[in-house]
Amino acid sequence: MSWYSTLEYYRCVNARVQEHLGGHRSARLAVESLDFEEVRAAQLAEDWEGAGDALAAAGERLGASGARAIAICTNLMHKVAPAVQARVDVPVLHIADAVADRLVAQGVTTAALLGSRWVMEEDFYAQRLAAKGVEVVVPDAADRELVDRVVFDELTRGVVTDASRAEHVRVMGDLADRGAQAAVLACTEIEHLFRDGHAAPLPLVDSMRAHADRVADFCLTGR
SS (H, E, C) 100-147: HHHHHHCCCCEEEEEECHHHHHCHHHHHHHHCCCCEEECCCHHHHHHH
The candidate with the shortest Cα–Cα distance to 106, out of 9, 202, 214, is 202
Reply yes or no on whether 12 is catalytic: no
What span, in angstroms and rounded, lies between the C-alpha atoms of 111 and 183? 6
188 is catalytic: no
Cα atoms in the 13 Å half-sphere on the side-chain side of 169: 12
Residues 6+ apart with CB under 8 A from 171: 114, 139, 143, 146, 147
Q: Which of 197, 201, 187 is nearest to 95 (CA)?
A: 187
Distance CA(219)–CA(7), nearest Å, equals 18
CA–CA separation, 184 vs 161, rounded Å?
20
| Catalytic member of 6, 12, 73, 187 | 187
The count of other CB atoms within 10 Å of the CB of residue 203 is 13
- Which candidate in 6, 74, 156, 188 is catalytic? 74
Query: What does the alpha-carbon distance between residue 191 and residue 146 come to, in Å, rounded to a whole number?
Result: 16
Q: Looking at the annotation, which residues are catalytic? A: 74, 187
